[in-house]
């Protein structure tokens, strides 16, 4: 086994090889950014050298991840994974499984196939009745035909109550049984992943003015959370609010500037809601004198743009339906979460894009999110899973002193931001600026030392 493998990768490969002596299915949970793809390629290489398999078939949730698998497996195996003559196997998306010709599936009958499934949580169920379409393909076409399978996931749970394909669950409490588990705490301790620094952007004096039928009324809200609970203003309204975008980008660009003094190629990612939103964010960057690249799921050149950004030194990339899962851009170190999607699965996958370390000095990953109650809960759970010196969750108030309109349906609304001196000091501390009150930020700083491991397993 190559010495370049990380310790966890060596241990996982050894565990898999021992497991395959008695059972064909192996489930590995490893935190996003830990290097699951490389481990899988090395495991395949080991099985090929032991003459236990003939071919490798890989399946993944997106074209971008499939390309990453092809590239990594080709480097490790020294043979292509493109399905053409002379290749060691093939890789395709889960969506493409149901469109494969019958000749493709005959490979599982005629050869000893090692099947690898990336982010297997996308595939639901071990029972055809409750499985989704991708899970059904695994049950009907692969599960009992592949000589070995490897199921990979960084976030092994689903938003619904369905089980994960190829997974086993405890009969007493329905908890997922992992054959190998490598958590974020271990990855940070091993200097494989960065320590997360999550910043919640809030507003502690939101004035909402309602104009209707020639009358006007005002209400004051102490937070975005209360605004969203007690008014018609939606979370997506906030995501598109120019001043909110502007201030989140201010925080993130300044942080990236600081990080690039140490890590020259550090980059930033903004996860946008849709194409229009992405261009709004790009315009906000342009107004600050910042350039950025936009990649969307409708751009046929998206993969080329991602590759160019990955290998370049550009500062920012704005993504819609891309990069949130599996895409490897190790130099990303700062992320702004401006997606309308509020599931823990998506949130943790986005966080994973900035966790992978590239050297000895890039030990922190920064994620900026709005202080919306669901996202705040996800953020707190990430911090709960780590000792307080390895993760922090901080709350930063917005700065604004004049009314800014929010576009919603009638009646119309406007926001006005009024901050106390303490809030001003907290914002300056977050930016690394001098503050007249050294304890001002303490009301907004939250550190967590309790492990969340058991609670996380309860979600499975």
Burial class of residue 143 (count of CB atoms within 10 Å of its CB; 0-12, 13-18, 19+): middle
How far, in Å, CA of 249 to CA of 270, rounded?
9
- pLDDT tens column, 354-371: 999 988 888 999 999 999
Q: Could you give the C-alpha distances from 22 to 52, 147, 176, 343, 458, in angstroms and in order?
A: 14, 12, 20, 37, 28
Q: Are 337 and 367 in contact (CB under 8 A)?
A: yes
Give the residue carrying structure tokens 């939606």. Answer: 234
Domain spans, the chain? 7-182, 192-458
Burial class of residue 296 (count of CB atoms within 10 Å of its CB; 0-12, 13-18, 19+): middle
What pLDDT was estimated at residue 325? 64
How far, in Å, CA of 334 to CA of 255, rounded?
8
* Other beta carbons less than 10 A from residue 119's beta carbon: 24
Judge whether residue 286 has pLDDT over 60. yes
Judge whether residue 442 has pLDDT over 70. no
Helices marked H in 183-272 — which ranges?
Answer: 184-189, 224-230, 235-239, 242-260
Q: Could you give the C-alpha distances from 106 to 97, 141, 356, 400, 402, in angstroms and in order?
A: 13, 9, 38, 64, 67
How far, in Å, CA of 279 to CA of 294, rounded?
8
What pLDDT was estimated at residue 326? 61
How far, in Å, CA of 362 to CA of 191, rounded?
10
Query: Class of 7-182 per CATH?
Result: alpha beta
- pLDDT tens column, 367-407: 999 999 999 999 999 888 887 677 788 888 887 533 444 44
The domains spanning 7-182 and 192-458 adopt the same CATH topology = yes
How far, in Å, CA of 43 to CA of 16, rounded?
8
pLDDT top residue among 399 and 31: 31
Which residues neighbour 267 within 8 Å (Cβ) at sequence distance 6 or greater? 256, 309, 314, 315, 316, 317, 329, 331, 332, 333, 334
**Helix, coil or strand: residue 23:** coil
Least confident of 85-89, 266-270, 438-442: 438-442
Average pLDDT over residues 74-89: 94
Nearest residue to 369 (alpha-carbon basis) of 159, 197, 231:
197
Give the residue carrying structure tokens 């078939």. Answer: 57
- DSSP for residue 97: G
What pLDDT was estimated at residue 132? 86
pLDDT band at 56 (very low <50, low <70, confident <90, very high): very high
Which residues neighbour 44 within 8 Å (Cβ) at sequence distance 6 or greater? 53, 56, 73, 76, 77, 114, 116
Q: How is residue 338 written in tokens?
A: 């401006």
What pLDDT was estimated at residue 62? 86
How far, in Å, CA of 141 to CA of 135, rounded?
10
- The sign one gets for the Cα dihedral 90, 305, 335, 375 is negative
Pairing of strands 206-212, 412-417: antiparallel
Residues 184-194: b if buried by 16+ CB within 10 A, e if exposed: bbbbbeeebbb
What pLDDT was estimated at residue 211? 74
R_g (Cα) of the chain, nearest Å: 24
Judge whether residue 104 has pLDDT over 60. yes
> What angle (nearest 5°) sits at the alpha carbon of residue 236, between those of residues 404 and 351?
115
3.40.50.300, 3.40.50.1380, 3.30.1300.10, 1.10.10.10: CATH of 192-458: 3.40.50.300
- pLDDT tens column, 219-246: 888 899 999 999 889 999 999 999 999 9
Angle between helices 63-77 and 36-49 (to 10 degrees): 40
Q: How is residue 457 written in tokens?
A: 């397993």
Q: Could you give the C-alpha distances from 415 to 92, 204, 209, 273, 396, in angstroms and in order?
A: 48, 12, 7, 22, 18
Q: Which DSSP helix (H) or strand (E) runs through 344?
A: helix 344-352
Least confident of 181-195, 377-391, 403-417: 403-417
**Helix, coil or strand: residue 340:** coil
Average pLDDT of the residues of the chain: 83
Least confident of 127-131, 173-177, 306-310: 127-131
pLDDT band at 432 (very low <50, low <70, confident <90, very high): very low
Instruction: Please state whether the peptide bond connecting residue 86 to the residue before it is cis, i.e. omega within 30 degrees of 0.
Output: no
* Other beta carbons less than 10 A from residue 222's beta carbon: 12
- pLDDT tens column, 151-178: 999 887 777 778 899 888 888 777 889 9
pLDDT band at 120 (very low <50, low <70, confident <90, very high): very high
Q: How is residue 94 written in tokens?
A: 């889960």
What pLDDT was estimated at residue 401? 39
Average pLDDT over residues 65-89: 93
Nearest residue to 114 (alpha-carbon basis) of 51, 22, 70:
51
- pLDDT tens column, 249-265: 999 999 999 999 999 99
The DSSP result for 119-141, as a single string, is TGGGSB-SSTTT--HHHHHIIII
Average pLDDT over residues 39-55: 97
Nearest residue to 313 (alpha-carbon basis) of 263, 353, 270:
263
């Amino acid at each position: 086994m190559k010495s370049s493998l990380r310790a966890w990768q060596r241990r996982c490969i050894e565990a898999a090889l021992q497991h395959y002596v008695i059972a064909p299915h192996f489930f590995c949970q490893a935190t996003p950014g830990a290097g699951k793809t490389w481990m899988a390629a090395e495991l395949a290489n080991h099985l090929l050298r032991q003459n236990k398999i003939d071919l490798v078939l890989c399946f993944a949730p997106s074209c971008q991840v499939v390309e990453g698998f092809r590239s990594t497996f080709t480097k490790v195996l020294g043979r292509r994974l493109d399905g053409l003559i002379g290749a060691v196997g093939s890789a395709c998306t889960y969506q493409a499984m149901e469109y494969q010709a019958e000749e493709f599936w005959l490979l599982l009958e005629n050869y000893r196939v090692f099947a690898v499934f990336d982010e297997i949580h996308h595939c639901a169920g071990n029972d055809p009745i409750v499985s989704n379409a991708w899970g059904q393909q695994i049950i009907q076409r692969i599960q009992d035909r592949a000589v070995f399978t490897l199921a990979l996931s960084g976030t092994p749970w689903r938003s619904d109550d369905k089980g994960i394909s190829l997974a086993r669950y405890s009969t007493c409490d329905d908890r997922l049984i992992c054959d190998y588990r490598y958590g974020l705490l271990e990855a940070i301790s091993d200097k494989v992943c960065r320590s997360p620094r999550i910043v919640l952007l809030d507003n502690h004096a939101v004035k909402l003015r309602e104009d209707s039928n020639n009358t006007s009324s005002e209400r004051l809200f102490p937070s975005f959370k209360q605004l969203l609970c007690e008014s018609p203003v939606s979370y997506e309204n906030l995501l598109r609010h120019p001043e909110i975008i502007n201030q989140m980008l201010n925080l993130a660009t300044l942080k990236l500037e600081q990080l690039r003094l140490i890590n020259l190629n550090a980059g930033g990612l903004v996860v946008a809601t849709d194409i229009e939103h992405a261009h709004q964010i790009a315009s906000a960057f342009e107004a600050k004198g910042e350039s950025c690249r936009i990649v969307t799921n409708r751009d046929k050149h998206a993969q080329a743009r991602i590759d160019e950004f990955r290998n370049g030194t550009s500062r920012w990339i704005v993504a819609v339906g891309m990069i949130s899962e599996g895409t490897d851009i190790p130099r990303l170190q700062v992320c702004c979460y401006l997606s309308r999607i509020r599931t823990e699965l998506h949130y943790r996958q986005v966080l994973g894009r900035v966790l992978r370390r590239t050297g000895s000095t890039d030990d922190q990953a920064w994620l900026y999110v709005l202080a919306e109650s669901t996202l705040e809960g996800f953020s707190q759970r990430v911090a709960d899973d780590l000792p307080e010196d390895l993760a922090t969750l901080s709350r930063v108030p917005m700065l604004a002193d004049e009314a800014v309109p929010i576009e919603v349906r009638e009646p119309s609304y406007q926001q006005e931001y009024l901050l106390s001196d303490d809030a001003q000091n907290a914002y300056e501390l977050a930016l690394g600026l001098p503050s007249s009150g050294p304890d001002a930020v303490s009301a907004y700083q939250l550190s967590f030392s309790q492990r969340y491991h058991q609670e996380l397993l309860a979600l499975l």
